[in-house]
Chain A
Amino acid sequence: MVHAGTAAPAIEVIDLKKTYRGGIEAVKGISFQVEKGEIFGFLGPNGAGKSTTIMMLTTLIKPTGGRAAVDGFDVVKEAYRVRTRLGYVSQDLAVDDNLTGRENLILQAHFYHIPRSQLKARIDEVLELVGLRERCDDRVEFYSGGMRKRLDIACGLIHRPSILFLDEPTLGLDIQTRHEIWRYIEKLRSENKMTIFLTTHYMDEADALCDRIAIIDRGVIKAIDAPSALKDQLGGDVIFFRFSDGSGDAAAATMAALRELPGVKEISQHGEEKVVVARNGDLLLPQIFEAAQKNGARIESVTLKRPTLDDVYLAHTGRALREGAGGKEEFRRQRMAMRRARR
């Protein structure tokens, strides 16, 4: 118990490696830390090593190199303690269809050795949290994909873990349900002070939920930072604008004035369209108008484009996220999960 205290980071990974039998290097020496109370995301295509990493951290497979600690406990040497501290929600929708929602939770509670006296209260608590109170005595086979996912998340929460692992939490779910799941995840962090580690290949998910993300590609971490910082690293926002006809010299004077504004990195011109690359484009917009007014030019149209995580991903890996080809096993698992989610 010496090292497990407030001082230890929630997750600490040092040079972690996994080479499967047959020589496939799924994870090639990654290092990162997740602080307590953080939502940390692993972003990458299928087969990038996301699930392999999460399975090593949840003690399901053993690393072939490096080390990892969850809540201060080593995932190999102190696997049992690690298990008592983490909640794991896989991408498989691993709830038992033949049992009712409540029965699934009863089992889960007993597997985590929750005292009988607390059992009912705990189950009601997580059912309330994911909004499954009314349907909890129905068999899971009659649940929709979203309800199954919510039940699966409830299972992962029953023992009040300090760290929750979510592997592709919204894979195969419709947009409405995805936003619902996001709300639960945010609620867990804000109300329960839980640390959340999630993997996703959805850009918008990583962007909306995560405090920090790691971009992982072919078993290597390419970048780790807050989503906004990652986007800033690309050079910032891009502003396109056009002057009204006949602005002439006034336009030229305006362009010269823009060069002096703070945050402007680059100005170029494609035909009539002027292009400004700048940090904090939203703050720059009013200043562009002011400069135009001062010099007597009139602006006809303005577009502000902020870089998306897609652009970040492309910049770091040299390919778009959707192109990534996953392993056969991962592909099968995902298809299976999607089928179950759509029922």
Chain B
Amino acid sequence: MRAERYGLEEIRAGLRLSDIYWVCWRELKKFFGQRTRILMAVIQPLIWLLFLGNSLTGLTRNPFASQMLGVDNYLVYMTPGIMVMTSLFGGIFGGLSVVWDRHFGYLNKLLAAPISRAAIPMGKMLAAAIQSVIQVTIITIIATILGVRFACGPAGFLLIVAIVFLFSFGVSGISISLGAVIRSQETLMAIVNFLTMPLMFASNAMFPLEAMPAWLQTIARWNPLSYAVTPLRELVGQGLWSATIGKGLLAMFIFAAIMSLVASRQFRRSIA
């Protein structure tokens, strides 16, 4: 396909942050306009923490298990896992909004406007990341009420937010890249669901790597989820000063950067 030649105005438009901001504004406005969605954002982590966290507290009564988990309270182990899972779910459905926008014609309306193509996926990714940060804040509050002490303190919480933000931004990038190509909601849902469960269980989100068979450990080590979970777990359990935190932050940053490139490219290619 012939490449579109870009004029000066178009290049300037490519850098216009306000376009990203307004795409994101729309998504967030919709999010806050739907009371059920906000309610779910609160209830979902609460249920995860209460049910899953409590049902497995028995684990830490076993000294070997406790040693393997590295904590003496399973909730402390579980909280970072739930944070990452929540942002995984938040991000992975981001592509649905692309499919839906296409379905009722809004996408064409956006594309006929003089905004840069990349602003559309980037704005949606930003919105998903912000929603995840909101959810993680809620989780932090609930976990604190349930007695989890965050070893990292308030400054560390900012690092948690940064990691979650980048992770969710990247994950929604995967989903949006798929949404740019797949035109049916059902197909996208099927693929996303197919991705989510293995991503979750083949990671250290809920169970320590040491408890897994070797082959699963290998997968879990390469899973981007683990890259987010590990530093969060250190922040919650050990505190601010740990080597893996910088590494995790860097990994997340690279993940987010790659996904923004991929999503923007996918978007430009398959839609415009």
Contacts and interface: CB of A to CB of B under 8 A. Distances in A.
Interface of A: 55, 58-60, 62, 76-81, 83-84, 86, 88, 90-96, 98-99, 103, 107-108, 110-113, 139, 155, 333, 336-337, 340
A88 B4 contact: no
A88 B104 contact: no
Contacts of B5: 77
B22 interface: yes
B186 interface: no
- Which of B2, B7, B9, B108 counts the most A-chain CB atoms under 10 A from its CB? B108
Interface residues of B, number: 31
A92 B7 contact: no
Contacts of B10: 79-80
Nearest to B10: A80
A93 B105 contact: yes
**Chain B interface main SS type:** helix
Nearest to A329: B183
B103 A94 contact: no
A337 B105 CA distance: 9
B108 A92 contact: yes
- Which of A59, A96, A108 counts the most B-chain CB atoms under 10 A from its CB? A96
Given A77-B4, A83-B114, A90 B108 contact: yes
B25 interface: yes
A95 B110 CA distance: 11
B108 A112 contact: no
A113 B108 contact: no
Given A60-B112, A340-B104, A99 B18 contact: no
B134 interface: no
Interface in B7-30: 7, 9-10, 13, 16, 18-19, 22, 25-26, 29-30
A80 B11 CA distance: 10
Given A107-B22, A111-B19, A94 B106 contact: yes
A108 B26 CA distance: 11
A78 B114 CA distance: 11
B109 A83 contact: no
A264 to B, nearest CB: 51
A107 B114 contact: no
Contacts of A90: 105, 108-109
A155 B112 CA distance: 12
Interface string B83-125: 0000000000000000000011110111111110000000000
A21 to B, nearest CB: 11
Nearest to A99: B29
B109 to A, nearest CB: 5
A238 B16 CA distance: 62
B34 interface: yes
